[in-house]
Amino acid sequence: MIKISLPDGSVREVEKGTTSMDVALSISEGLARNVLSAKVNGEIWDANRPIEADADLQLLTWKDTDGKSTFWHSSAHLMAEALEALYPGIKFWVGPPVENGFYYDVDTGEHAISSNDFKKIEDKMIELARGKSPFERMPISKADAISYFKEKDDNYKLDLLEGLEDGNITLYKQGNFTDLCRGPHIPHTGFIKAAKIMNVAGAFFKGDQSKKQLTRVYGITFPKQGELKEYLAMVEEAKKRDHRKLGQELDLFAFSDKVGKGLPLWLPKGAMLRERLENFLKKAQLKAGYLPVITPHIGSKKLYETSGHWEKYGEDSFQPILTPEEGEEFMLKPMNCPHHCEIFKTRPRSYKDLPLRLAEFGTVYRYEQSGELHGLTRVRGFTQDDAHIFCANDQVEDEFKKVIDLVLYVFKSLGYDEFSAQISLRSKEDRSKYIGKDEDWDRAEQAIIKAAGEKELDTVIAYGEAAFYGPKLDFMVKDALGRKWQLGTIQVDYQLPNRFELEYVGADNQKHRPVMIHRAPFGSLERFIAILIENTAGNFPLWLSPEQIAILPISEKYEDYANELFLELQESDIRGYVDHRDEKIGRKIRDAEVNKIPLMLIVGEKEQEERKVSVRRKGEGDLGQMTLEEFTAYANQEINKNIPKFGAK
Ligand SMILES: [Zn+2]
Ligand SMILES: [Zn+2]
């Protein structure tokens, strides 16, 4: 008999050789129907692989990321089987799962696959899936594997085999298809109920441009037909909300090849939006005890030699800037932290100065490969809502709680109601790579767990995910389309205080080294705004709207009155524009709607006579006539509605 420990803490005694599927069946048949694979002692296994010794067991279903990966990777095998049936002689390289679905890199030989063939492939996949073919795991010696693929004349798999160690090689077979694969896979193909081929693209063998170009076939599958429909609807909606498209349509930002790839140009409306976000956070940070600082966009190369950035990233980043002075070299700053460390060092510090919280909207530059650049989410120059907290070891827990409060305030104010957090700690086994004292790590890790617990965050703990220089807490938000985005990080750092030899005098009159906490609720303004655009589809909350009002005179006779209104509203900090064009009022309203202006003020003869405005709100329609005072009061109330005061209960 062996002992199987389940995540709920219960332990089951079962016979040696029992499978995860057997355990699932002993719990309930419903559960067993949904089990895709299982985590056995932290390793993902086929659900029907026999367990031979005591083990920790977690059953994985569609709800688990790892379960989904097993499902999608198995679907890549199913797609390969369909492709082999449809295109005899086709050769396969690798077929991993990706964030949404999977792909397989294939050498189509004399065939070509285009979007016209997608339906045919999907139909074949579903036909094969209905056969409920089990995925069979077959351990094989390297020599046997080589002779198998030699016989098949499959140089791709022979290439893969070269790098594999004898004794650890497995083949997997389902239906008529056998692949070299370490697994794991779902129990049988019948779990796959819906399939869609999404795209084909060229992909060089091993990513090497001098090698043969293969065809990368992307697909996605689901355990229910309905889920595929929902997914495709989401993809359509995501296309409409793409921040690159909306950013252009709403005149928020642009790129110019002449300025340089990946360097966003903020247009007036985008700059207005960004400024609102900055002011919002600055106000809250002031209340939370942060002190604003400003540091230059460049720093001497020596600064980054001290910080370690030069050694780590120097070669792959923007190269040093030379000056007429011999030997003088500067770097575009890739991070604000080194500058802030130098601010800490500008004068002797005592424990009474701690925690010292230095905040800066600091613009940094990192050289991303041009193929990696993507709208505002991957750029080469961006502004972090950065801050560094210098504190004593016993202040870490309190500081974490305070930063969590700030992050949650940001989420709440911007309508992100669904979020989760990941606590990244040291690996349980190998602790040799982490710098800093063990006791400090223990304390900080416990502090983060405790702070997250007290703030009732929905957290997962990831062992081995901590950076070598400290544990961290990352936030993930779910957007309106159900997509997850990583926002906001709080990171403990034992390294930079060492490298910069930071010190403070403690109450014991001795010198101590402070801990540094890096934190950024938005992450970067560029990325945050990209996510905000996609989450709101460009319908920003009133307080953030670059243009809150559009004043629409019915004809030029009412222009003076419109201008007068505009100036008065500007006095009350309500922003927008007057539509002076010689267009019909219907057209003006339509254009304001297209530009996602929240409030429209229509003025004609009656309004001018009575010193009133006719108000229309986007998405709500006509709100009737108001005096200027009434409208100002209404607008201010609506503006303030969504931004609670920071620190208010
Ligand atoms: Zn596989
Ligand atoms: Zn930092």
Render pLDDT for 91-140 as a digit per residue (tens, 0 to 9).
999 999 999 999 999 999 888 999 999 999 999 999 999 999 999 999 99
Is 17:1 a contact under the CB 8 Å cutoff? no
Is residue 645 scored above 90 in pLDDT? no
Q: Is the confidence at residue 649, as pLDDT, over 80?
A: no
Beta strands in 77-157 (DSSP E): 91-92, 97-98, 101-107, 136-139
φ/ψ of 218, rounded to 5, equals -95, 135
Residue 220 has pLDDT above 60, yes or no: yes
Give the model confidence (pLDDT) of 347-384 as tens digits: 999 999 999 999 999 999 999 998 899 999 999 999 99
Residue 423: pLDDT band (50, 70, 90) is very high
> Is 388 tagged catalytic?
yes
Q: Which residues of 466-476 are buried (b: 16+ CB within 10 A; e: fewer)?
A: beebbbbbbbb
Active site residue 341: no
Q: Is the peptide bond before 598 cis (omega within 30 degrees of 0)?
A: no
Whole-number Å distance, alpha carbon 490 to ligand 2 midpoint, is: 10
Residue found under tokens 């709607």: 593
- From the CA of 391, how far away is ligand 2's center (Å)? 14
- Tokens in use for 451? 């702070």
The Cα-based distances of 556 to 581, 607, 627 in angstroms read 9, 14, 21
User: How many whole angstroms from 355 Cα to the centroid of ligand 2?
Assistant: 16
Alpha helix (H) ranges present in 368-476? 396-413, 438-454
Please report which confidence band the pLDDT of residue 476 belongs to, taking 50, 70 and 90 as the band edges: very high
The rounded distance, in Å, linking the Cα atoms of 636 and 625 is: 17
Please report which ligand is nearest the Cα atom of 493: 2
- Considering every ligand atom shown, identify the ligand nearest to the alpha carbon of residue 180 and give its number: 1
Ligand nearest to the CA of 517: 2
- My answer on whether omega of the bond before 355 falls inside 30° of 0, hence cis, is yes
* Centroid of ligand 1 to alpha carbon of 308 (angstroms): 40
Does 278 have pLDDT greater than 80? yes
Q: How confident is the model at residue 431 (pLDDT cuts 50, 70, 90)?
A: confident
């490298």: which residue's tokens?
499
Read off the pLDDT of each residue in 183-202 and give the average, rounded to a whole number: 96
CA of 544 to the centre of ligand 2 (A): 27
Which one of the listed residues 196, 309, 339, 518 is annotated catalytic? 518
Interval between CA 92 and ligand 1 midpoint (Å): 12
For the cut 70, the answer to whether the pLDDT of residue 252 exceeds it is yes
Q: How far is the CA of 172 from the centre of ligand 1 (A)?
A: 7
Which residue matches tokens 């209104």? Answer: 565
Distance 286 CA to ligand 2 centre (A): 19
H helix intervals, 152-308: 155-162, 225-241, 243-249, 268-287, 301-307
Q: Which of 337, 380, 391, 512 is catalytic?
A: 337
Task: Label the pairing between strands 11-14 and 43-46.
Answer: unpaired
pLDDT digits (tens, 9 = 90+) for 596-614: 999 999 999 999 999 999 9
For residue 648, the model assigns a pLDDT of 62
Q: What is the pLDDT of residues 318-336, one digit of tens each?
A: 999 999 999 999 999 999 9
Please tell me the number of the ligand nearest to residue 46's CA.
1
Q: Residue 10: pLDDT band by 50, 70, 90 thresholds?
A: very high
Please tell me the distance between residue 75's alpha carbon and the centre of ligand 1 in angstroms.
9
pLDDT (average), residues 238-250: 96
Structure tokens at 371: 């193929």
Q: Bigger pLDDT: 641 or 515? A: 515
Residues paired with 363 in a beta bridge: 383
Residue 73 appears among annotated catalytic residues: no
Q: How confident is the model at residue 66 (pLDDT cuts 50, 70, 90)?
A: very high
Residue 178 Cα to ligand 1 middle (Å): 10
| Ordered strands of the 136-139 beta sheet | 136-139, 170-174, 177-180
Q: How far is the CA of 286 from the centre of ligand 1 (A)?
A: 53
Please give all residues whose CB falls under 5 A of ion ligand 1, grouped by chain where several chains appear.
181
- Catalytic choice (68, 340, 388, 402): 388
Active-site choice (39, 73, 188, 366): 366
Condensed to tens digits (0 to 9), the pLDDT of residues 541-584 reads 999 999 999 999 999 999 999 999 999 999 999 999 999 999 99
Alpha carbons 278 and 385: distance in angstroms, whole number? 8
From the CA of 390, the nearest ligand is 2
Q: What is the mean pLDDT of the chain?
A: 94
State in Å: Cα 74 to ligand 1 middle: 6
pLDDT recorded at residue 643: 76
Question: In this structure, which ligand is nearest to the CA of 490?
Answer: 2
CA of 373 to the centre of ligand 2 (A): 22
Q: What percent of the chain has pLDDT over 70?
A: 100
Q: Is 604 exposed, middle or buried (0-12, 13-18, 19+ CB in 10 A)?
A: middle
Q: Indicate the pLDDT class of residue 47, thresholds 50, 70 and 90.
A: very high
Strand, helix or coil for residue 137: strand
Per-residue model confidence as pLDDT tens digits over 132-163: 999 999 999 999 999 999 998 899 999 999 98
Q: Which of 472, 588, 612, 616 does the annotation list as catalytic?
A: 472
pLDDT at 313: 84
Which candidate in 58, 384, 395, 422 is catalytic?
384
Q: What are the phi and psi torsion angles at 156 (to 5°)? A: -65, -45
The DSSP-derived string for 610-623 is HTEEEEEETTTEEE
Cα–Cα dist 245/639, whole Å:
27
CA of 155 to the centre of ligand 1 (A): 18
Distance 274 CA to ligand 2 centre (A): 21
- Tell me the CA–centroid distance for residue 341 and ligand 2, in Å: 9
Q: What local confidence, expressed as pLDDT, does residue 644 receive? A: 75
Mark whether 366 is an active-site residue.
Answer: yes
- Mark whether 472 is an active-site residue: yes
Which listed residue (105, 386, 474, 579) is catalytic?
386
pTM: predicted TM-score of the whole model, two decimal places: 0.85
